[in-house]
Amino acid sequence: MANRPRITDPAGATGPVLPRMCPVCAAAGWPDGDTEMPGLSVWLVAQRPAWVQRRGLFVPGSTAHPARMLPELARHAIHTYSRPGQIVFDPLAGIGTTLVAALHAGRDALGVEYEPRWAALARANARLARAHTEAGAWQVRRGDATRLPGLLPRDLRGQVDLVLTSPPYGRTMHGRVEHRHGPLTRFHNQYGPPDPASLAHRGLTGIAEGMYAVLAGCLPLLRPGGTVIITARPWRRTGLLRDLPGAITAAALDTGLQQVDRCVALLAAVRDGHLLPRHSFHQLTVARKTRARNIPVHLIAHEDILIFRAPPGDDRIDEPHHNTTAARVGQR
């Protein structure tokens, strides 16, 4: 570890801090690092409402992002799949939830984000986390993660221990609906203007193709056997399921990543034997309208957690496999 290139941030941070207990492990009844009892494949990431999880950890303005990861999901993934001092990389960083969780867990954090507005917030949030922890180095680059090889320094090759990321997903999943000034209004549901480089303006096939390029660019950065975790939500359009997790799994396998696990992040709190869902108003409306058309769909209350590893040692490939993602997704 002594010779590994550190991520350099303006504050010149060094040294890990001690990780705190992961609240997801605590909710499931066992502490972090308990090797006797493996964690469940259902992650209880929504025992506390999202705003409580985010309180004090993010700068004002961060709530404007339409599709943020739950901090407890990021924290559990980081505690389970990396160690203090290691590098966590999010190529689709948004406002930097994964970077904040990484810094608070004593890891170094690297992010790439395409939209300048979110990249600026990711920097501000990482800076705040760094001020809290007084340890851990971080860096956020603005750029197109489908072109990673030209974006990041060569000395990061083979140094990343964990890639943790989530792609943008269907518009029905974005934003919130509230009575603000009279009628119900949807807000915080906007990305920047349409741009072909942004995955946020693509449909299912376009996102899967983009994720193939992003993950293929991550492979050379990962150490042999390093972990890739992608969280993805299925969504509905005209009553039919858009299976984003399935499409992304196909894309990841096409790059040569090896699938290790597929877990579920429960987007509901478990209370007195009941589930208290934390859905958006818009999702509820879509499900109700679909049921009214005699299609008995469920309200989606989970997110898929797709877990892969980079090929270890001898199996390692320098070039990703042929991209058959578009063809495969097209067949769905």
Ligand X SMILES: C[S@@+](CC[C@H](N)C(=O)[O-])C[C@H]1O[C@@H](n2cnc3c(N)ncnc32)[C@H](O)[C@@H]1O
Tokens 């009628």, residue located: 183
Distances (CA, A) of 152 to 141, 180, 256, 267, 316: 8, 42, 21, 34, 20
Residue 132 or 293: which CB sits closer to ligand X?
132
Residue 209 or 254: which CB sits closer to ligand X?
209
Task: Supply the minimum distance, in Å, between the C-beta of residue 200 and ligand X.
Answer: 5
DSSP 8-state class, residue 296: -
Residue 25 or 112: which CB sits closer to ligand X?
112
Task: Supply the minimum distance, in Å, between the C-beta of residue 211 and ligand X.
Answer: 10
Q: Both tokens of residue 19?
A: 């990780």
Task: Supply the minimum distance, in Å, between the C-beta of residue 320 and ligand X.
Answer: 17
Between CA 281 and CA 177, with CA 203 as vertex, the angle to 5 degrees is: 15
Residue 22 or 70: which CB sits closer to ligand X?
70
Residue 31 or 203: which CB sits closer to ligand X?
203
Secondary structure of residue 325 in the 3-state scheme:
helix
Amino acid in the structure at residue 198: S
Residue 115 or 269: which CB sits closer to ligand X?
115
The C-alpha atoms of residue 43 and residue 24 are separated, in whole angstroms, by 7
The CA-based diameter of the chain, rounded to the nearest angstrom, is 63
Residue 106 or 167: which CB sits closer to ligand X?
167
Q: Which residue minimizes CB distance to ligand X?
A: 94
The C-alpha atoms of residue 193 and residue 49 are separated, in whole angstroms, by 30
Residue 114 or 235: which CB sits closer to ligand X?
114
Task: Supply the minimum distance, in Å, between the C-beta of residue 167 and ligand X.
Answer: 6
Residue 228, beta-bridge partner list = 163, 308
DSSP 266-312: E-EEEETTEEEE---HHHHHHHHHHHHTT--PPPP-EEEEEEEEPPP
Task: Supply the minimum distance, in Å, between the C-beta of residue 106 and ligand X.
Answer: 20
Task: Supply the minimum distance, in Å, between the C-beta of residue 146 and ligand X.
Answer: 5
Task: Supply the minimum distance, in Å, between the C-beta of residue 98 and ligand X.
Answer: 6
4-32 CB burial, b ≥16 within 10 A, e <16:
eeebebeeebeebbebeebbbbebbeeeb
Residue 129 or 290: which CB sits closer to ligand X?
129
Binding site for ligand X (CB under 6 A): 65, 67-69, 92, 94-98, 112-115, 118, 144-146, 166-168, 191, 197-200
Task: Supply the minimum distance, in Å, between the C-beta of residue 89 and ligand X.
Answer: 12
Residues ≥6 apart with Cβ < 8 Å to 161: 82, 83, 86, 87, 88, 222, 223, 226, 227
DSSP H helical ranges for the chain: 23-28, 50-54, 71-81, 97-104, 116-133, 204-218, 244-255, 281-292, 325-331
Tokens 């990431």, residue located: 45
Task: Supply the minimum distance, in Å, between the C-beta of residue 42 and ligand X.
Answer: 21
